[in-house]
Amino acid sequence: MSLYRVSTLNTFDNARLNIQQRQSQLGVSQEQLSSGKRVAKASDDAVAATLSERTQNRLRRTEADLRGLEASRRSLAQAESTLGTVSELYARVKELVVQAGNGVLNASDKASIANELSGIREQLVGFSNQKDTAGSPLFAGLGPLNTQGDAFVEVLSAPVATSYGPDGRAVNWDALDGQYAATPTSLPRSIDGSLVFGDNGANIWETLDRAIGALESNLTGAALTTELDQVHAELAVREDSLLAARGKLGDWLNRADNMELLFEDRSVAYEKENSELTDVDMLKAVTDFQMNQTAYQAARKCPCSTI
């Protein structure tokens, strides 16, 4: 009698264990179907989980590079647009300087031209200190040296000897010379303004002050011609520098387009690789689910399980 009872208990335990195993397998199949993932935790497949983590890290780095590239692209596009406006102002300066050389102009006419040149001068100070959407200066080279974050600072009684303004005013470069280099995964977000607008004592503002000073002093004849010829020569240098800067910005923007395509392709490849490592084969998952469901139901209907 005791042997029969031991055998019956053993059979019951085996049946219960079988039901639990079938239920667990069915639960795994249901989870895979609902999540679409074959590997949800490291214990599901240690090797695949490790490779997946590595792939996801690479994907996150690529996405970070892409975000940084987009930020640089916005800044570079804004810088290029700003220099486009500066180029239009340079063209207007040339027109005014040519007009100022007309011998029939009186003192009032010259003063009017000087006033417009002064207005352009002020605009150029603002454009040279233009900042991007993050508040970083676009033309500060390796970074500004003042708390305002400006690349150029206007001062009176300037220490620069070649200041032509009647009040000794000047606009001085107040940032670190140099230019961040492009890398395979990033682009600069600013450009060296001293190469664009000129350095201390030899910049676009000194050129404008020379013209303004000559007109406000009501120079005439050879003296005026000499000053305006010098203005033309200096302006030509500044225009060449401006064209060179716009060419560099255009090259960086083209490079940004190519880098974006590369990063996007790389992201797609990483996502595909991660999918192959962790995603479930839906056809196989459905088949396994049906088999596990049938096995579970069969285990529950087994007479042994009801003992």
Question: For 63-86, how does the pLDDT look when each residue is reduced to its tens digit (9 = 90+)?
Answer: 999 999 999 999 999 999 999 999
- Measured CA distances, 54 to 57, 61, 143, 271, 276 (Å): 5, 11, 36, 12, 14
239 is written with which tokens? 């225009």
Strand partners, 203: 198
Q: Any idea where the domains of the chain sit in the sequence?
A: 54-268
How far is residue 176's CA from residue 263's CA, in Å, rounded to a whole number? 31
- What per-residue confidence (pLDDT) applies to 272? 87
Both tokens of 80, joined, read 């290029």
Burial class for 179, CB neighbours closer than 10 Å (0-12, 13-18, 19+): middle
The residues of the chain scoring below 70 in pLDDT are 1-44, 157-167, 279-307
- The span from the CA of 169 to the CA of 162, in Å, is 10
Mean pLDDT, all residues of the chain: 82
Shortest CA distance to 274 belongs to which of 57, 102, 15?
57
Instruction: Yes or no: say if 125 and 150 are a contact pair by the CB < 8 Å rule.
Output: no
Q: Please tell me the distance from the alpha carbon of residue 189 to that of residue 79, in angstroms, as a whole number.
A: 9
Instruction: Please give the backbone phi and psi of residue 152, each rounded to the nearest 5 degrees, phi first.
Output: -125, 140
pLDDT value of position 21: 58
What is the model's pLDDT at position 51? 86
- Round to whole Å and give the CA distance between 82 and 191: 12
pTM for the predicted model, two decimal places: 0.75
CB 163 within 8 A of CB 217: no
pLDDT at residue 8 in the model: 60
Angle, in degrees to the nearest 10, between helices 46-100 and 221-278 = 170
The rounded percent of the chain whose pLDDT value lies above 70 is 72
What pLDDT sits at residue 271? 86
pLDDT of residue 53: 86
Q: How many CB atoms lie within 10 A of CB 129?
A: 22
pLDDT given for residue 294 in this prediction: 63
Supply the pLDDT for residue 307.
39
CB 144, CB 154: distance < 8 Å: no
* Tally of CB atoms within 10 A around 209: 26
> DSSP 3-state assignment of 303?
helix
Q: Note the pLDDT of residue 305.
A: 46
Superfamily of domain 54-268: f41 fragment of flagellin, N-terminal domain (1.20.1330.10)
The pLDDT of residue 295: 55
- Alpha helices per DSSP H over the chain: 2-35, 46-100, 107-128, 193-197, 204-216, 221-278, 282-301
Which residue, chain included where needed, has tokens 């670190």?
176
Strand 198-199, strand 152-155: pairing: unpaired
